[in-house]
Structure 1
């Protein structure tokens, strides 16, 4: 049969036809077709070029793929869309921008010259393992660059920041300030804060520097543009801490300029209590529509691997007392999970270290034993270090691990230093999860790393870092599995597999044309694959060539 059944009631003439290509449907049969047709905002059919072209009318736009690949729109299953735009106003401190602490100081000093005294200077992206100094900067480093400004520079993971003395005074941090629950204030040998702050110790600085609504109205369109350029048509927003972001998303959807579909988490961790409001409102996961939908209640249990704050069973190399940071006890986590579970929420828990993942699984297991619920799809966000027992538990409980496989390419080199080579044997184990029948979507966590799905697909295929080292090479998967993890699996993680994530009749016409046939592209060339065209809801919203398309532009 050339065509799968037509969507009942749909216009039988196509508005757009993609033909003469490699159409990766990602359907249950994993079909590869030659063409696909779109009517309105829905997929009309997929099949052979000759059969699909019969659906053309006098006004149908025919797009000749010329052998290129058409895939479902990419779904980034864990990222921070609001932050993606706002960090473009911050000082770039990544390895492509700085080599040393002196370079960061120089950039801070330059920004200070343009910023009124007393205001904030923000930056992001440094990785102490890739600085020539091989250490975190300190308050005293930044004092020398901008003594009359509040300076706050985030590590690339976002779980560690460095504040200068003026910023520390603003937060009231002194040698007498105790470490907050779920956080750590780094101190020198005299007990003085060095300015390096981990996990919940960052919260006062977060709250003070949350972007205002007027700023988000300028920066959020930047995210929209970037995501569409990369073929990302849906994103799961894991921030859930700034209500202004949600208001701007609603405005963008109502005004029509926000094209990316968002599944929005609400956070409940430490002093971030947005989730409380939702739990008390009577709303629960799934409220909304195909553009904006209420997602999981988000909890935090540990930190980051590169920042040495993920909760691990075995101490970090060279730091025998450091087993990472936990935001709460097992009993407190059990209580929070039970609260969200009984309120009807899907729950997503940030857990990277094996100890953090184990605590997360225990909490889910206890909630499900007490109040069984089919199709809960509770999530483990990132889910970094696992063993066979944890893998089996994830399968048995029906959990959805949202993997940080894309981290391997950009952040993987730092893991060798912070975690040690011996611990990397089963990190972000996509292949082992797939072998157990577990649905495991991929995600970028942008602005932690570049949201480009090709970085994640490359990491899934090769398990290589930026420098060419490999992490858990036996966990590499094939190209079709990687595409499925970036499309259909993401739709499943948001309970939307019936409306998107595959190229099938009746599903939303969220489609991406890649610059070449990705199925025939050698793994080492995947990073060079571009997005030529992005369609959302049947509308072409991005073309790599040709005149610019209409739409609201962002402002840095």
Structure 2
């Protein structure tokens, strides 16, 4: 099983800070914070994971009896001698804003947040009470948390040791669902590359990993990017640097930036939950220059489908330097027209889906944006596979089982409406399994080495808890691995399994 967009490093960070547990009231939150306070010396920071139930953190704060967030004074009552900070979620876990973090009075004081503090972003609100003082609640209308990066970075920071320890922990979690290889299509920053290298060096890397480089464009300043890209050809060009366990292959980029990207990038080289650099976006014409140079230097590019006009841009690059055979990648596919698919085929692009978000969690909103005659264009897996396009399935780290996107690709059910999203785009179970195996190997030019059980291929396999071809459709997503093997070694096994 090959996860074509895993963000696996994040899974190993979820236990760095304590969980609040299954809280159902502000009193529950206070009790848990008080418990944590008893374990720390006075004055020490208490930083916790978000309020809500992982992995999705749906329906907050409505799951709390009060249906609101705890204030600084309520957190003060639980831990009067400590600064307290409750993190927000990483927005893509749930796929909907807002992101909300909570701090007590001492935490606000240490962060320098007062009644006079002005948010640097319209999308980030410092909630204030009737008297003008901060309530301790930070509300963000975005998907990538900013408050913790600019005001609470030090106490919330993931250290190099955290990241290094996290890689084998994360791999173990993914192995439990049969995953043997990953491709980090969103790109990874230096601190994540270093964590993978640490695990590789000390022999604890049990997951085969293809990493895409996440550039930090602001460090380039006004340099000529064409010359910079040419200088990268030796280590980022194909064939990829590395071996069958760890390889670095290509760069990630996108068109333009979100309003908060520059603010978040000010924390560089630290990247928080992201694991990628926040300033990977470039103005369209500058990105076109970069992509043309990438093609000329055999550096594979990975772009995000959510960038408007990405297929148009690649079409322009293709006219300068033909892309066929280079296996450039477009990730997180959403709306693709028949004309888009024709061009994807012509350029030989490889795609990765995002069914956890675009079908299960937010498929109903995508459909509402489209006229009825175009609704079949939402994640059109049937049309893509019929056209011969290679599509890899992804978890995006939530949930970490590939059997969720396999189920979503077959059933195409909306969590919200329980209706099938563009049902004519459903693919068969066998096709979905191929997308989660051999097509993932194709992403890294490894289809002759892995992705299927054949003599001479790498000894990577999983023994599953049920047959995905025959279980009831609704049970596909519940499949786990009884045993998982990579490189001929058992890396996961259910006791007595």
Q: Contact 1:269 / 1:299 at 8 angstroms: preserved in 2?
A: no
Name which of 247, 251, 260 aligns with 1:293. Answer: 247
Query: Which of 185, 189, 195 is the matching residue for 1:248?
Result: 195
Residue 348 (structure 1) aligned with residue 273 (structure 2): no
Cα distance, 1:126 vs. partner? 8.3
Matched, 1:494 2:444: yes
Per the alignment, residue 89 of structure 2 pairs with: 154
Q: C-alpha distance in 2, partners of 1:102/1:141?
A: 9
Distance 1:210 1:518 in 2: 40
Q: Indicate the residue corresponding to 1:121 in structure 2.
A: 47
Counterpart in the other structure of 2:384: 433
Select the residue among 198, 208, 219 that pairs with 2:142: 198
Alignment of 1:96-111 (within 5 A): 97=22, 111=36
- Of residues 411, 416, 428, the one that matches 1:462 is 411
Partner SS, residue 396 of structure 2: coil
1:80 aligns with 2:80: no
Distance in 2 of aligned mates of 1:126 and 1:101: 21
> Contact between 1:330 and 1:359, CA under 8 Å: does it hold in 2?
no
- CA drift at 1:394: 2.1
Is 1:474 aligned with 2:406? no
| Counterpart-to-counterpart distance in 1, 2:56 and 2:440 | 29
Contact 1:264 1:292 in 2 (8 A): yes
Task: Give yes or no for the alignment of 1:445 onto 2:396.
Answer: yes
Q: How does 1:533-544 map to 2 (within 5 A)?
A: 533-544=483-494
Deviation at 1:78, TM superposition (A): 0.3
Q: CA RMSD in A?
A: 4.1
**Residue from 467, 474, 497 that aligns with 1:524:** 474
CA distance in 2, matches of 1:243, 1:138: 40
Select which of 191, 200, 216 maps to 2:163. 216
Residue 404 of structure 1 is matched in structure 2 by 354
Per chain length, whose mean CA-contact separation is higher, i.e. which structure has more relative contact order (CA < 8 Å, sep 6+)?
1
Distance 2:3 2:459 in 1: 17
Q: State the alpha-carbon separation in 2 of the partners of residues 185 and 82 from structure 1.
A: 26
C-alpha distance in 2 between matches for 1:101 and 1:239: 36
SS in 1 for 2:142: strand
Residue ranges of structure 1 left out of the alignment (5+ in a row)? 1-73, 305-325, 548-556
Give deviations 1:257-293, integer Å, cap 9, x for gaps.
Answer: 21110001211367698xx999745311411111000
- 1:127 touches 1:156 (CA, 8 Å); kept in 2? no
Q: Are the equivalent residues in 2 in contact too, given 1:100–1:132 (CA < 8 A)?
A: no
Contact 2:90–2:145 under 8 Å retained in 1: no
3-state SS, counterpart of residue 49 of structure 2 = strand
Structure 1 residues 241, 518: CA separation in 2 closer, same or farther (over 3 Å shift)? closer
Distance across 2 between alignment mates of 1:128 and 1:85:
18
Residue 456 of structure 2 corresponds to residue 506 of structure 1: yes
Distance 1:291 1:187 in 2: 45
Q: How do 1:122-137 residues align onto structure 2 when only pairs under 5 Å count?
A: 122-124=48-50, 130-131=59-60, 133=62
Higher strand share: 1
Correspondence list, 1:135-150, <5 A: 141=70, 143-146=72-75, 148-150=83-85
Contact 2:324 2:347 in 1 (8 A): no
Question: How far does the alpha carbon of each residue in 1:117-164 deviate from its partner, in whole angstroms, 9 at most, with x for none?
Answer: 4647253558687336499x9998453454633443124416864345
Q: What aligned pairs does 1:7-406 form with structure 2 within 5 A after superposition? A: 74-90=1-17, 97=22, 111=36, 114=39, 117=43, 119=45, 121-124=47-50, 130-131=59-60, 133=62, 141=70, 143-146=72-75, 148-157=83-92, 161-164=99-102, 166=107, 170=111, 176=118, 178-179=120-121, 184-186=123-125, 194-196=138-140, 198=142, 202=146, 205=149, 209-238=156-185, 240-268=187-215, 280-281=231-232, 282-285=234-237, 286-301=240-255, 327-352=281-306, 356=307, 358-406=308-356
TM-score by length of 2: 0.74
CA contact (8 A) 1:234 1:261 kept: yes
Q: Contact conserved, 2:410 with 2:426, CA < 8 A, in 1?
A: yes
Alignment partners' CA distance in 1, 2:469 and 2:33:
45
Report how far residue 504 of structure 1 moved: 2.2
On the 8 A contact 2:229/2:293 being kept in 1, the answer is no
CA contact (8 A) 1:299 1:348 kept: yes
**Could you tell me how far 1:220 is from its partner in structure 2?**
2.1
1: CA distance between counterparts of 2:91 and 2:143?
13
Shift of 1:398: 1.8
Q: Which moved more, 1:419-428 or 1:241-250?
A: 419-428
